[in-house]
Amino acid sequence: MAVKYWFIPSDIRKLAMALLFLMSGPVFCQFAPPAGQPGSSAIHRDSTAIIAWAETCSVIRGYVNISDTLFTYNGSNKATYGNPSNGVGKANDLVVSLGDGGEALLTFSQPVVNGTGYDFAVFENAFSSGFLELAFVEVSSDGLYFVRFPSSSLTPTSLQVGTFDTLDAKKIHNLAGKYQAMFGTPFDLQDISDSLRVDINHIAYIRIVDVVGVVQPPYACFDASGNIINDPWPTPFDTGGFDLDAIGVLHNASQGADNQEQIIHARIFPNPVKEKMTFIPGADIPCQVMITDINGCLVYQGKWIGQSTLDFSSFPSGMYLSRFFFENGSTFIRKIVKL
């Protein structure tokens, strides 16, 4: 029986070329270039766009070499350089090193909010535009749920980027450490606007998580598209991993509406609650109310104005997150414990 072909040869060639173009697309993808070049998104530490800096910083150190946790440098198997306080205040090239997979958690005097364009910038201490150490960036409204910015890394993974090798900033997006010292990598909260886990108009916590740049399992890290992230590794020193300098804020709650001061003084009681919870706002402005459980599932939604009461008696015991979105653009967020 003869085989019937549904495409003539020229059609096959066209189809093959189209598929090849689609498959090779990411190779030609380019993101913002290094600081100082046209089109760069780098923000200098002296930029007037920065209105505040992180006020507290706590650190969980990672190993100097995650693939050999018994290896030590200067007597420790974890990064030791710098103090957590080095991550507070204006960028000044005094850093705290996180080590492989280490974390830093930072807080602010006013919540970071989603404004026009970028909302905050993370500073590292790279000594050149090519020697870059990368980190994931995550944000939270309540300190319980964190959402990670969707990142992209197009650096080839056929060969491990060595300890002192370089990266191309144009192949990196939404990863801290993209720019050299004194220039912050900016982040736009609008990028995670579809997340139900955080309120992008009330970001109280920012977490920086070192990218372990090894290209081989089991320690490889991945971007939002599932690509392995390749960056300088190993870095088996006390200064290993991402070196956090600072986080500068571009938009925060202090830029809110005239009634913001009143809204901040809203309160709920009793907390913990057994039966009825009372909410007293700082102003009689209508607000949308959303309450979610520990798993992020919506358990209550409504519209309130002025002092209001909600019956909690039928809710299971546990932790809840209450969000109040006022019509003037202000927000009020509190954790509630149900006994």
Three-state secondary structure string covering 221-249:
CECCCCCECCCCCCCCCCCCCCEECEEEE
Residue 22 has pLDDT above 50, yes or no: no
pTM above 0.85, yes or no: no
Q: What is the pLDDT of residues 219-238, one digit of tens each?
A: 999 999 999 999 999 999 99
**For residue 336, what is the DSSP state?**
E
pLDDT for res 129: 96
Using alpha carbons, select from 111, 278, 86, 299 the residue that is nearest to residue 189.
111
pLDDT for res 264: 53
Domains and CATH numbers, the chain: 29-255 (2.60.120.260), 257-338 (2.60.40.3080)
Distance of CA 293 to the CA centre of its chain: 23
